[in-house]
Structure 1
Amino acid sequence: MENLYIIIGAFICAVLMGQAIIPNILVISLRKRLFDEPDSRKVHKRPVPRLGGVTFFPVILFTLSVFTAIRIMIGLNPDAREVGRIACEFLFMIGGLTLLYIVGIGDDLVGVRYRKKFLVQILAAAMFPLSGLYINSFYGLFGIYQIDPSIGIPLTILLVVFITNAINLIDGIDGLASGLSMVALIVFGILFIHFRYWSFALLAFVSVGVIIPFFSYNVFGSIDRGRKIFMGDTGSLTLGFILSFFVIKYSMYDPAVRIMPMSSPVLVSFSVLMVPCLDVVRVVLRRARNHKPLFMPDKSHIHHKFLAMGFSPRSAMISIQVMSACFCAFTMAAIHFLNNTVVFIIDVLAWTLLNVWFDKIITKKSKLQ
């Protein structure tokens, strides 16, 4: 129970710190005119401060450090060998997060070319294999079980960059990226509590705590009153990297943890991020088919489709959240009854059919106008 109390205390601390810092970020943004300017691709019509994500990393780092120290002081730490391994994983993760935080702030303030961002993301992703974390098993997905490090390590770096960008690219309407991230973090937090990965559960719920005050300003704040803010690249890269950290940690086969192979940790960990991940794949394939630059921003993401179907930004955000929850619930339930590969194929087919249906609605709506 002591570990749960620590997690609750850290969660409350993160919420309070976020609530205290964000108004000051708003004041600085308004005085220095650090705005996200509207354009033809964006939904908002007026300049909005975009440095909300600057809050995330400092609050997470402070709260995680203090409450981890409290856990050690009151004797809740595991044996010395376990402490060393976990500390190594967290320190490398923080190192990678620092790199992304720096490039995120640079991008939000003056802009950074995508090639430089990719390079930094690859360097940050390489921190995980250096700490000993990498995808080492598919648990029978596509008939693959054990994965050699020569394949698992490059695959891990690719997946980390992919997930980080998926969260970054889904951040197109109020509350979408932060809402999807909150749900995913809560799921991971519960899973880590179940398997007694207390340090990882602590990080998950601290991250949820710092998102909550941002979410309230982002979704319910008024532009007229100067109470609205975006997370910017700093925030989306931070959340994407933390989520990729959890995906790799939960997916890595550990013989000391009794996770049933048929439960497919790889599939479970991706189920909470199914919508942003599959959306990136769909958009990239669409751009490749149309011979367009793969990394050039456009209005083909899932939230743009909902807006084109006539949804308001708020209703689109809620609908996508519900759709993501349905994918997650189905996957987590189906893996106990069906083959992992079959479940994955069903997910992809369902996603494809939904997008075909959305396209038909958009086409029909455009003909009527």
Structure 2
Amino acid sequence: MANMYLIIAAFITAIVLGRIIIPNILIISLRKRLFDAPDARKIHKRPIPRLGGVTFFPVILCTTCFFTALRILLGYLPDPQFTVTMVTELLFLIAGLTLLYVVGIADDLMGVRYRKKFFVQIISAAFFPLAGLYINNFYGLFGIYEIPTFVGIPLTMLLAVFITNAINLIDGIDGLASSLSMVALTILGVIFIHNQQWIYALLAFVCVGILIPFFSYNVFGNADRGRKIFMGDTGSLTLGYILSFFVIKYSMYTGSIPTEEILGSPLLVSFSVLLVPSLDVVRVVLRRARNGKALFLPDKTHIHHKFLDMGFSPRQALITIQLMSASLCAFTLVTVHSGWNNTLVFVIDVVVWTGLNLWFDVVIKNRMNK
């Protein structure tokens, strides 16, 4: 129970620190005119400060380290899983976050070419296998169980870069990336609590804590009064990298139970919380490849752009996309834990997503023809 109290205290501390720091970031941004200027691709119509994500990494690092040290002093360590491996994983996570934090700030302040950002993401993704973290089992998904290391390591790096960019690319309307991340982090945090992996649970809920004050300023802040802020690449890269870490950590098979006897695929379960941003990236990339366009240059073809083209307001689009994400996640979690075939569940998710997007395209076409 003491571990739960510490997690709650860390969660509240992150909220308080965010509530203190974000207004000061706003003041600095306004004085130095560090804005995200509107253009043809963006939704906002006036310059908005874009350094909200600068608060994420320092608050997450400070709060997590403080309460982890406090747990040690109070005698609640070691965890059953607290080993040299866990320490190594967390240190490599911090190293990767530091690289992405620096690149994110540089991009938000003066812009960084996507090739350079991609290169740094690959380096950061390589830290996971160095820490001993990699996808080593599919748990029967597509009929695949154990996979060799030479396949698992590059797959893990690809997955980390993919998730990091998925969160970065879904950050197109107020509150979308932060709210999807909050839900995903909360579910993953509950899973880690259930598994008594207290350090990871604490990290997950600290991330949720810092997102709450940001979400308030991002969604409900008044731009005319200088109370609105975006997370920028600094924030989205931080969130994406942490989420990729959790997905890989939870998906890695380390137990003694035969994988054929495990109910549900941990890989599919962990991905269920990120189905909307993940499937949206796949759809957009395939569409760009089919049309012969650059795969990594920004455009207006993401799911939130579709909702805006259908006549939804940004707030309505946010709520509807959240409901879509929650429905897909709930369906996946319930069915895999009810004994459904993992591959069948995944195929249903993809078919439903594809069907919805085809329907959206028809609605947009009919609206434009009126």
Note whether the superposition's TM-score is higher than 0.5: yes
SS at match of 1:82: coil
Deviations 1:33-88 (A, max 9, x none): 00000000000000000000000000000000000001111111126983322111
Contact 1:167/1:240 (8 A) holds in 2: yes
> In the alignment, which residue of structure 2 is the partner of 1:38?
38
> In the alignment, which residue of structure 2 is the partner of 1:173?
173
Whole-angstrom distance in 2 between the partners of 1:54 and 1:296: 24
Uncovered stretches (5+) of structure 1, i.e. residues with no partner: none
SS at match of 1:230: coil
> In the alignment, which residue of structure 1 is the partner of 2:300?
299
Matches within 5 A, 1:275-314: 275-314=276-315
Deviations 1:262-287 (A, max 9, x none): 31100000000000000000000000
Matches within 5 A, 1:47-196: 47-78=47-78, 82-196=82-196
| Aligned amino acid, residue 366 of structure 1 | M
Partner of residue 352 from structure 1, selected from 348, 351, 354: 354
> In the alignment, which residue of structure 2 is the partner of 1:9?
9
| Aligned amino acid, residue 333 of structure 2 | M
How far apart are residue 337 of structure 1 and its match? 3.2
Matches within 5 A, 1:198-213: 198-213=198-213
Whole-angstrom distance in 2 between the partners of 1:124 and 1:75: 33
Contact 2:264/2:339 (8 A) holds in 1: no
Answer with 173-182 or 247-256: which moved more: 247-256
How far apart are residue 184 of structure 1 and its match? 0.1
SS at match of 2:312: coil
Whole-angstrom distance in 2 between the partners of 1:306 and 1:39: 19
How far apart are residue 295 of structure 1 and its match? 1.0
Tell me whether 1:338 sits opposite 2:349 in the alignment: no
Deviations 1:130-162 (A, max 9, x none): 000000000000010001110000000000000
> In the alignment, which residue of structure 1 is the partner of 2:324?
323
SS at match of 1:224: helix
Contact 1:77/1:83 (8 A) holds in 2: no
> In the alignment, which residue of structure 1 is the partner of 2:364?
362
1:234–1:77 distance in 2 versus 1, CA, 3 Å: same
Whole-angstrom distance in 2 between the partners of 1:253 and 1:36: 42
SS at match of 2:57: helix
Query: What is the TM-score with the length of structure 2 in the denominator?
Result: 0.98
Contact 1:56/1:238 (8 A) holds in 2: yes
| Aligned amino acid, residue 193 of structure 1 | I
| Aligned amino acid, residue 66 of structure 2 | V
Aligned length: 368
| Aligned amino acid, residue 331 of structure 1 | T
SS at match of 1:323: helix
Contact 1:88/1:131 (8 A) holds in 2: yes
Contact 2:104/2:234 (8 A) holds in 1: yes
Uncovered stretches (5+) of structure 2, i.e. residues with no partner: none
SS at match of 2:224: coil
1:87–1:365 distance in 2 versus 1, CA, 3 Å: same
- RMSD (CA atoms): 1.3
Identity %: 69
How far apart are residue 334 of structure 1 and its match? 1.0
Deviations 1:315-357 (A, max 9, x none): 1001000100000000001112310000000000000000000
1:293–1:12 distance in 2 versus 1, CA, 3 Å: same
